[in-house]
Structure 1
């Protein structure tokens, strides 16, 4: 744990976004002084909060998840492991702030949707697929065949579900992987695979979990009476996406997110883990750091970033609708830039990249992973903004994209396939779902309407599947060439 290093790294990730938005806000797309000041102060809070949160994850949440996975596996009681996994997945997902926000957004467009049942359906989907993911690890089933079969079933069901729910279902897969869910799920998978001493199975649990809510929402759409979308988000609803909650609201969201996991930790401590007093105290301190960091992070993101993103998107969207041409190109280029930079500030992305470097013994560099992830997310945001302007069907991008991802499973190493599908979940975190989503919502509201605002998270979750698997193929080829050269030199 190195607080100064984390502070430096997070600053380098967030400051470029702040510089670009501030430059645009005082030149090409003038923003109100109040919005710019809130944005700058929000950026500082975001950097500080992310640093403290990551420190807390290192201290408490990640070690707890790994210990739980390892101890449950050592019990050699599969039913106990799967029951505990389902309860963990359901409780943590139902408490995830991103899910509450997402359910509100869906209800605004589709009033016939019941928020509570919708939330529980998503939580059940995550719980069931955590158990499925752990069964795969325990039975040593192929990650490639597991993903291929599950996505084949998913797309077959999607053809029978209402078209209006297609984007919402795929968005739900990304919305479930929030700042508290991801660290624990990834650590749980690492803990189980560490007992089995199987490096290739260390990753992929988050990727499998992301399929669960998509399937669950598709089934939900088949069972309810569907109606037409509301058409266009009301101005108040759009503004609410970029509203500025007080620090107490952010604290409440962070508390709702962390308390269920902390309660599970207490239960596991006395029934399973039995940590020493020092280990217990260290974990509790980690949870406290995570709570403080997440509160500061959410305050910064919601208070400054989302409002600036919404206003920037609306202003550029009006310019596109009035003039088209060059402004359409400008807004797409901005989306590419924001996508490339902002994913590096996502809390879960940092955790995943550090775990990948650790598990691989440093052979897979964190910087290389972040570069490929940035490129994939950049393309996803660019396509989202192109769709918000042109208004074409999401299936035209999503189905070919997943077909490519499935084909790449044939050539990509199993470890990289697991990392790729995990990356799809972690890329769509709170920063993406606030600043980027608000930016796209603003552009869509002035062009194609709210129906095309859904699908942003789905595209952000899809592109890393392609990017990271391509990285794995390149990595394998370079390793083969290097080994050949070393053998030739030895001869």
Structure 2
């Protein structure tokens, strides 16, 4: 409730002031907010009961295998199958008519599968995350300069949407399980980084796809907003939409559940009581995601699109920037995978990195990113002018902060750009861009990429301030001890 209420209040205030919504769209939004509250609660409970123990169990058992071929095959299949059914990716693929949606989904899934294999092998052999990030992002920007300009924002967006509510909990717990088999001092920090590397794979693969397809005629279109005149019609519209999300979420969870059953049949890793708890958790996860996705897709997407268009058509269209920043600050709190990440970070760091501090750093990052995205919508600024310096600063900070902050920061970028971004912020940018007469492929797309980038900076800045604070504290302690020693010597 606390995570959904602020964004609901902001949209309601906008709807009765500078961005009036028709009653039908507002009712859809409010119904969607109610579903979000219930969905978030069930999802969080279900993840704790099922996805996290499943991922840790698979990670521990598979990483003990002496032969590399088994882990490689298992991790590749996990990456491909979970990504192909990721709801965020389904939303994005339907908005890119330049390339067949199936081709785009398969390309992204293969990218995640390959990089999940690489990420798990990195943990197994203790390869520094910083080194891989420098090499891979260099490759990303080389390919980006070769790809068609109107396809670059979509490529970077694909890296953000793939790490959604299905893949994040499982992959993060998988990393914890693999890292737990190591006993060295870097094992805890190496448990992070899987999400970040799995986000790079789709960017590289989609950029290659853009170079091959040369989609010069790429275009985008706005979603059709339903006409709702009564609350009964709104309720009926949600009821009619439920089967779609019941099917989508089932297709998303079945590959994970199926592979887990095969794993359990072969290894007998979990006891019967644990299996019953995992089964109940999967049911909660399933219902939670159905409620959540139905709420954001049916209720939030039309509201985001209309609010963006209405503000852009106003004489004070510059208000897009501060309003976008305000929405961005609060909307990340409603992302289902964010609570999973912040909780896991607090547990792994033994409380030294609190959920509150992580949440604040991510909110500030997304606030800045949405503001910059709105500047792009208003001015048509090339996304390279923001991505290149943003990632340069992020990679430069990796040399100044502890490794654990680097892993957490680059993971947080993928986690922040989830279904709320794809179904509210992206339509918000598209509605504004269409109203201004801009190119949606180059100006509206890219907002997911921006949301995925800025937390890399803010969380590492938080880590840097922590390092500086500890150094100053040690210096003050050393100075105090020296004064005490001088006093003792004086009296002697």
Normalising by structure 2, report the TM-score.
0.92
Matched, 1:271 2:261: no
Contact 1:54 1:347 in 2 (8 A): yes
* Partners of 1:428 and 1:290 in 2: CA distance: 20
Shift of residue 361 of structure 1? 0.5
Post-superposition CA distance 1:272-310 (Å, at most 9, x none): 353110011111111000001111111211222221111
* Partners of 1:129 and 1:228 in 2: CA distance: 30
1:96 is matched with which residue? 86
Matched, 1:481 2:472: yes
Contact 1:238 1:442 in 2 (8 A): no
> SS state of the match for residue 399, structure 2?
helix
> SS state of the match for residue 441, structure 1?
helix
1:397 is matched with which residue? 386
* Partners of 1:273 and 1:169 in 2: CA distance: 41
How many residue pairs get aligned? The number is 467
* Partners of 1:386 and 1:280 in 2: CA distance: 50
Shift of residue 432 of structure 1? 1.2
Shift of residue 238 of structure 1? 5.5
1:189 is matched with which residue? 175
Post-superposition CA distance 1:64-95 (Å, at most 9, x none): 00111011112233221121100100011011
Matched, 1:82 2:72: yes
> SS state of the match for residue 228, structure 1?
coil
* Partners of 1:272 and 1:203 in 2: CA distance: 26
Contact 1:68 1:273 in 2 (8 A): no
* Partners of 2:90 and 2:298 in 1: CA distance: 18
Of the candidates 350, 364, 370, which is equivalent to residue 359 of structure 2? 370
Contact 1:97 1:256 in 2 (8 A): no
Contact 2:96 2:218 in 1 (8 A): no
1:8 is matched with which residue? none
Shift of residue 373 of structure 1? 0.5
> SS state of the match for residue 419, structure 2?
coil
* Partners of 1:207 and 1:369 in 2: CA distance: 16
1:26 is matched with which residue? 16
Matches within 5 A, 1:269-418: 269-319=264-314, 323=315, 327-418=316-407
Of the candidates 153, 156, 162, which is equivalent to residue 170 of structure 1? 156
1:36 is matched with which residue? 26
Shift of residue 172 of structure 1? 0.5
Larger radius of gyration: 2
Normalising by structure 1, report the TM-score.
0.92
2:458 is matched with which residue? 467
Contact 1:41 1:300 in 2 (8 A): yes
* Partners of 1:428 and 1:272 in 2: CA distance: 35
Matches within 5 A, 1:412-431: 412-431=401-420
Post-superposition CA distance 1:213-256 (Å, at most 9, x none): 000011112222433223x62x5x3548x996612222122112
2:432 is matched with which residue? 443
CA RMSD of aligned residues (A): 1.7
Post-superposition CA distance 1:28-65 (Å, at most 9, x none): 22211222222122111101111100100000001100
Structure 1: tracts of 5 or more residues without a match: 1-10
* Partners of 2:42 and 2:287 in 1: CA distance: 7
2:216 is matched with which residue? 227
* Partners of 2:211 and 2:31 in 1: CA distance: 45
Answer with 63-72 or 263-272: which moved more: 263-272
Contact 2:151 2:218 in 1 (8 A): no
Of the candidates 111, 124, 128, which is equivalent to residue 125 of structure 1? 111
* Partners of 2:27 and 2:215 in 1: CA distance: 43
Post-superposition CA distance 1:417-448 (Å, at most 9, x none): 00011011000000111111111111011111
Contact 2:426 2:445 in 1 (8 A): no
2:489 is matched with which residue? none
* Partners of 1:149 and 1:42 in 2: CA distance: 42
